[in-house]
């Protein structure tokens, strides 16, 4: 014996089904992102760093997908008017930029002399002590 649902119950059931499908979409997105991510640093980077062949700031290019912001996910799940389905964010690999040429400045210092008593003078004259 099937019970007939009134309008309010039908609306509540439709909202429940919509929320359920949206949660499934967010979960599928999370699984996809997790499967495509690569650990940072990678094992190869760790091995090279251990051998002293890789500077700690030199990393493999990015590009791993990321989940959309939590706020966008929450708005989508809460059925906020105007909230679009969040999309996976793919970060672009860092652009390779040429570092500006380093300039070196040359400073001159006065000659240093040491007296027989061990006193050091940077003016070029020995002081007595």
Domains of the chain, by residue range, sit at 10-91
The pLDDT of residue 128 is above 70: no
DSSP sequence for 51-111: TT-S-TT-------EEPPPHHHHHHHHTT-TT-PPP--EEPPPPPP-PPPPPP--------
Q: For the chain, what is the mean pLDDT?
A: 75
Q: Greater confidence, 30 or 87?
A: 30
pLDDT at residue 114 in the model: 59
The pLDDT of residue 64 is above 90: no
pLDDT at residue 101 in the model: 47
Closest residue by Cα to residue 73 from 124, 19, 125, 34: 19
The pLDDT of residue 113 is above 70: no
pLDDT at residue 109 in the model: 57
Percentage of the chain with pLDDT > 70?
A: 65
Q: Convert the pLDDT of each residue in 10-62 to its tens digit.
A: 999 999 999 999 999 999 999 988 888 877 777 888 888 889 888 777 776 66
The pLDDT of residue 85 is above 60: yes
Q: What is the pTM of this model?
A: 0.50
């Amino acid at each position: 014996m099937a019970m007939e649902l009134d309008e309010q119950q039908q609306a509540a059931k439709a909202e429940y089904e919509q929320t359920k499908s949206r949660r499934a979409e967010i979960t599928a997105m999370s699984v996809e992102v997790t499967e495509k991510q690569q650990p940072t640093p990678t094992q190869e980077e760790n091995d090279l760093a251990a051998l002293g062949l890789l500077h700690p700031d030199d990393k493999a290019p990015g590009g791993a997908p990321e989940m959309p912001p939590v706020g966008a996910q929450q708005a989508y799940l809460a059925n906020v008017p105007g909230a679009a389905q969040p999309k996976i964010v793919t970060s672009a690999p860092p652009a390779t930029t040429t570092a500006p040429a380093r300039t070196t400045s040359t400073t001159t210092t006065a000659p240093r002399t040491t007296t027989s008593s061990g006193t050091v003078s940077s003016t070029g004259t020995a002081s007595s002590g």
